[in-house]
Amino acid sequence: MTLFTTMQHLVPQKKLSEVAGRLAASRHPVVKKTFIRSFAKAYGVSLDEYERQSLNAYESFNDFFTRELKDNARPIDSTPNAITSPADGVISQLGQIDKNKLLQAKGRHYDIGQLLADSADAELFTDGSFATVYLAPSNYHRVHMPFDGILTKTRYVPGTLFSVNNNTAANVPDLFARNERLVCLFDTQYGPAAVVMVGAMIVAGIETVATGRIIRKDDIQESPHSMKLAKGDELGRFYLGSTAIVVMPKAAKTDWLEGLHADSVVQMGQLLGTAKA
């Protein structure tokens, strides 16, 4: 275990995220200016692709962090039966689900039932496929639909708030099934599908178009929905960086692009693979 991972076990994860959340939401001119400018400089953020191109145009750090792209900045791939990237970021892992196991990092797997926090839903994805996209701090932080579908259910699952970068994924068992997350379940032309938005260290919140801003609680919260969303539509956003996991059923026979692998850089709307209806 690395020093970075050990430190994450020791720090008060939720309290740290709560404090970060209050500062990130502040509209105080000095607070927001300091955080936005320091962050933009540290991570080399360019606003060329974004609708608002001045750092002064954002009302808070949260507003800056979830900044909107210009129209058509991310073309949505039109390949028939395309499964597209839900976010800008880096592929953490992708491939087939081995019975009920997803690959987290080399030598580490975790259980789909733990990820979804529901054994019945997990059975829908036995021997299915998955793609995990890690959003770095500098990335565009809205999550979009990787397929057409009807959102039928969301499930908030409380948990830890470890970092979700590759270092932590390689060292913390069941990372994505331990961290706070929001499970979004869909009916699609391929059968049931899911997008799981996983929280992380200093992530101040998760929001979706169906639920609004998620309020952190100590128990699982499930809500029914019936919202039709098209591929490329905004599904939600993270307040500070995290991970989005696309889960497809076996019946979809998802064929991920041969050139994609762990550490491949992707953009929202980019073709990840195709499925069979």
Q: Are strands 181-188 and 234-239 parallel, antiparallel or unpaired?
A: unpaired
* Residue position matching structure tokens 């169906």: 210
How much is the pTM? 0.90
d(CA 5, CA 205): 22
pLDDT at 188: 98
Among residues 263, 53, 259, the alpha carbon closest in space to that of 271 is found at 259
Sequence-ordered list of residues with C-beta below 8 angstroms from that of 213, at least 6 positions apart, any chain: 205, 206, 207
Considering Cα of 210, then 182, then 106, then 99, what sign does the dihedral take? negative
Sequence-ordered list of residues with C-beta below 8 angstroms from that of 219, at least 6 positions apart, any chain: 158
Strand partners, 132: 93, 245
In single-letter form, the type of residue at position 183 comes to V
Per DSSP, the three-state class of 111 is strand
Rounded-to-10 torsion of CA 188, 189, 192, 198: -50
d(CA 200, CA 21): 13
For residue 208, give the H/E element and its range: strand 205-208
Among residues 136, 1, 141, the alpha carbon closest in space to that of 69 is found at 141
pLDDT at 18: 66
- The residues spanned by each domain of the chain are 11-65, 82-274
pLDDT at 174: 78
* Residue position matching structure tokens 């259910």: 153
d(CA 56, CA 37): 9
CA atoms within 13 A on the CB side of 65: 26
pLDDT at 14: 54
Among residues 235, 210, 243, the alpha carbon closest in space to that of 139 is found at 243
CA atoms within 13 A on the CB side of 202: 11
Residues carrying an active site annotation: 88, 144, 242
pLDDT at 2: 52
In eight-state DSSP terms, residue 117 is T
Residue stretches of the chain with pLDDT short of 70: 1-21, 163-169, 171, 201-204, 241
Q: Kindly tell me the burial class for residue 274, based on how many C-beta atoms sit within 10 Å of its own C-beta (0-12, 13-18, 19 or more).
A: middle
In single-letter form, the type of residue at position 239 comes to Y
Read out DSSP for 24-46? HH---HHHHHHHHHHHHHHHT--
Cβ–Cβ < 8 Å for 195, 246: yes
